[in-house]
Amino acid sequence: MSSAPVCLDDFEKLARLSLPASVFGYYFSGADAESTLQRNKDAYDSLLIRPRILVDVEKVTTETTILGHKINSPVCVAPTAFHGMANDEAEKATARACASLKTCYTMATYSNTSMEDTYAAAKQKSRKQDPLHWFQLYVEQDREATKQLVQRCERAGYKALVITVDRPRLGRRLADLRHAFKLPKHLSLANFIADETRSGAGAYAGGAIDASLNWKDIEWFKSITKLPIVIKGIFRGEDAKLAVKHGVDGIIVSNHGGRQLDGCPATLEVLPEIVDAVKGSKVEVYVDGGIRKGTDVFKALALGARAVFLGRPIVYGLAYQGEEGVRSVLSLINYEFRLAMALAGCTSTDKITPDYIIPAEEISLARSYAKYHSKRIAPKL
């Protein structure tokens, strides 16, 4: 590809060309047959937008808030591990790009630069203003160590704890098995003190993640921190109701980008169920998985998401041009989203309601014909 990227899928093509196969394989893959990975993206194409016209859209704003913090666009950055394989500045570059565009950066537990250094880099970028950083937590068996991580987050200025609950064990990503993928030697898990289990294959296996994690632990987290708690990986209404009952502040509807349980629905397909389950509470609902276009953001918001999170496109941007590349990815999808809003006749995010969308299945030619031509004329054969 010789020209500059003009859509998010272009960044994937560029990353495929430039990264070592094992690294691209790690970033790109889903679990098993990758049917959920594909379904996450396809779901957006099965939902159609019904635009309003002659609405004054000279001024369109994409601004919104999450957990009370202002962001310039509802497109935020999902936690993804190991940014050091894409760029030497690693998570610092990603966080700087988010700070300069005033959106939320979620740092992964298994990052290659530490939470303190990354926050400091972003703060410098935003001219000493506090950047909006959340911290994604993998809960490990050693709860004392987990508690220390949480306390460090609070001290460092992180604004929410995102607890990932869809990875009691690592999904089977076939590319990683084929490449015997491991974290390259020159990189470390910078939020931890280096040891055997935290480098190479050990770092990938995440062996210390606690498969016994359950709702009692969520109560424990609430007792040890004042930070808002966001649960990432809720997939059913019943669990969303339990989240409300346990006093969480936010939910990210996620199937881990199709990297864990293959064969589950797309996140967009279950979003309405979750939004309905938390109705009447203050819990905010976000979604990730398969979002690649401005119209995808529009559709997710129309179905009730307050914001969306991007995973893979961010690491592809990082691999392309570091901080500038991440900025390009975010700026491009923000531009597309603003355009979609204007073309659909919405001037602010709160105006994007379910009324603007319709599942493709409900709008076939046969149905429209039957609905609007009551006296059907049988063709003479």
Ligand X SMILES: Cc1cc2nc3c(=O)[nH]c(=O)nc-3n(C[C@H](O)[C@H](O)[C@H](O)COP(=O)(O)O)c2cc1C
Ligand Y SMILES: O=C(O)C(=O)c1ccccc1
Of 188, 178, 160, 198, the C-alpha closest to 309 is: 160
Rule CB under 6 A: is residue 311 a binding residue for ligand X? yes
Amino acid (one-letter) located at 39? R
Rule CB under 6 A: is residue 81 a binding residue for ligand X? yes
**Dihedral, 82, 207, 193, 163 alpha carbons, nearest 10:** 70
Measured CA to CA, the distance from residue 273 to residue 291 in angstroms comes to 19
In order, the DSSP letters of 303-351 are TT-SEEEE-HHHHHHHHHHHHHHHHHHHHHHHHHHHHHHHHHT-SSGGG
Catalytic residue (one of 69, 179, 246, 256): 256
Q: Which member of 259, 293, 327, 338 binds ligand Y (CB under 6 A)?
A: 259
Q: Which member of 44, 105, 110, 309 binds ligand Y (CB under 6 A)?
A: 110
Q: Tell the smallest beta-carbon distance from residue 89 to ligand X (Å).
A: 17
Which residue reads 């050693």 in tokens?
Answer: 142
Positions 148 through 207 that interact with ligand X (CB under 6 A) = 164
Q: Which member of 5, 74, 79, 325 binds ligand X (CB under 6 A)?
A: 79
Q: Which member of 150, 187, 243, 310 binds ligand X (CB under 6 A)?
A: 310
Q: Tell the smallest beta-carbon distance from residue 56 to ligand X (Å).
A: 33
Measured CA to CA, the distance from residue 142 to residue 184 in angstroms comes to 25
Q: Which member of 83, 123, 159, 256 binds ligand Y (CB under 6 A)?
A: 256
For residue 8, the tally of other CB atoms under 10 A from its CB is: 24
Judged by beta carbon, residue 165 or residue 352, the one nearer ligand X is 165
Which residue reads 């409900």 in tokens?
Answer: 362
Is 52 known to sit in a ligand binding site?
Answer: no
Rule CB under 6 A: is residue 27 a binding residue for ligand X? yes
Is 296 known to sit in a ligand binding site?
Answer: no
Q: Tell the smallest beta-carbon distance from residue 97 to ligand X (Å).
A: 16
Is 291 known to sit in a ligand binding site?
Answer: yes
Of 106, 65, 47, 69, the C-alpha closest to 310 is: 106
Instruction: Tell me whether residue 186 is one of the annotated catalytic residues.
Output: no
Positions 148 through 167 that interact with ligand Y (CB under 6 A) = 167
Using CB under 6 A, count the residues that bind ligand Y.
Answer: 7
Per-residue CA distances from 68 to 131, 160, 228, 251 (Å): 14, 11, 11, 15
- Residues annotated as catalytic are 256
Residue ranges of the binding site for glyoxylate: 26, 138, 173, 256, 259
Q: Which residues bind ligand Y (CB under 6 A)?
A: 81, 110, 167, 204, 206, 256, 259
